Amino acid sequence: MSNYFDKLPPWPDGDFGEFGPVEVKPRDRYQQIGGAFLSRNWLAIPHVTHHDEVDVTDLEAARKAWGEANPGQKITLLAPVMKAVVGALKEFPIFNTSLTADGASLVWKKYFHIGVAVDTPKGLLVGVVRDCDTKSAATLAEDTAALAEKARTKGLSMAEMSGGSMTISSLGHIGGTAFTPIVNAPEAAILGLTRVQLRPAPGEAGALEWRKMLPLSLSYDHRIINGADAARFVRHIGRELSRFEFV
């Protein structure tokens, strides 16, 4: 019996030269493999993306103070967010699961390895930072910077890209207010970060004050996670960040 998907028309692969001058360049192996994985994940996983923003005003003040007290060392927002995601994974362990290929079981992970999407000249690579629950933000920042540098200069092995609990994809250094990251199978969710925005909010004395808000976009596999849990998960990340302490 045929179904709707059997009736999809073929990819429109015409001769663009008919419309004007063009040049056809082959894509390298990394780009082709990466594209195939992204297509599989997009088609196989029923994605929903939940958007929210969390107040990082106090966190940013603490991060600035930490930077002044530790010249030569750098922590961006990413490391505190990795720690906050670990806190949220502990509170909501359903986000630290993987569906088996037959869909019959869930694998509950007891480890906290966070994937970080890195923009490289060869395309997007996701390196996994291990045991994020046991590391300080400073160590996570160092580990992530080293992994990103290796991804950009030498590439990453399959072992360095495997075994994540959940992935974070940060576009905050460029801009944006929200996007739809694609879940990195077999993980259950991926968190996208975009650029911190200044928003007016009522202060304690009633007057308006400017707050720093970090936009978060959480895409999740709707076979595993429901929308209410996603909303709670992101709110929890906000709570973790609001009480975060640099040690």
Asked if residue 26 has a cis previous peptide bond (ω within 30° of 0), the answer is: no
Number of chain residues interacting with ligand CAO (CB under 6 A):
19
Contact between 172 and ligand CAO by CB under 6 A: the answer reads yes
Query: Which of 51, 113, 222, 236 is an active site residue?
Result: 222
Q: Which stretch binds ligand CAO (CB under 6 A): 21-29, 44-52, 72-80, 221-229?
A: 72-80
Contact 200, 185 (CB under 8 A): no
- Could you say which residues in the range 193-232 bind ligand CAO, by CB under 6 A? 193, 195-196, 214
Half-sphere exposure of 154 (CA within 13 A, CB side): 9
| Cα of 225 vs its chain's centroid, Å | 16
Q: Using alpha carbons only, how large is the chain's radius of gyration in Å?
A: 20
Burial class (CB in 10 A: 0-12, 13-18, 19+), 116: buried
Q: Which residue from 54, 77, 114, 224 is in contact with ligand CAO, where contact means CB under 6 A?
A: 77
Q: CB of residue 192 vs ligand CAO: minimum separation in angstroms?
A: 7
Q: Pattern 118-157, binding to ligand CAO, x per CB under 6 A?
A: xx----x-----------------------x---------
- Token pair of 84, please? 């906050």
d(CA 194, CA 182) in angstroms, rounded, equals 15
Q: CB of residue 234 vs ligand CAO: minimum separation in angstroms?
A: 15
Q: Is 173 a catalytic residue?
A: no
Contact between 49 and ligand CAO by CB under 6 A: the answer reads no
d(CA 62, CA 179) in angstroms, rounded, equals 27
Contact between 188 and ligand CAO by CB under 6 A: the answer reads no
| 27: Cβ contacts below 8 Å, ≥ 6 apart | 35
Q: Which of 108, 100, 145, 109 has the alpha carbon at shortest distance from 127?
A: 145
d(CA 117, CA 148) in angstroms, rounded, equals 9
Q: Which stretch binds ligand CAO (CB under 6 A): 16-24, 100-108, 192-200, 230-238?
A: 192-200
Q: Which is nearer to ligand CAO, 114 or 171 (CB)?
A: 171
Q: Which is nearer to ligand CAO, 106 or 161 (CB)?
A: 161
SS (H, E, C) 41-70: HHHHCCEEEEEEEEECHHHHHHHHHHHHHC
Q: Which stretch binds ligand CAO (CB under 6 A): 3-11, 46-54, 188-196, 220-228?
A: 188-196
Q: CB of residue 181 vs ligand CAO: minimum separation in angstroms?
A: 5
Contact between 171 and ligand CAO by CB under 6 A: the answer reads yes
Contact between 181 and ligand CAO by CB under 6 A: the answer reads yes
| Catalytic residue numbers, as ranges | 222
Interaction site with ligand CAO (CB under 6 A): 76-78, 116-119, 124, 148, 169-173, 181, 193, 195-196, 214
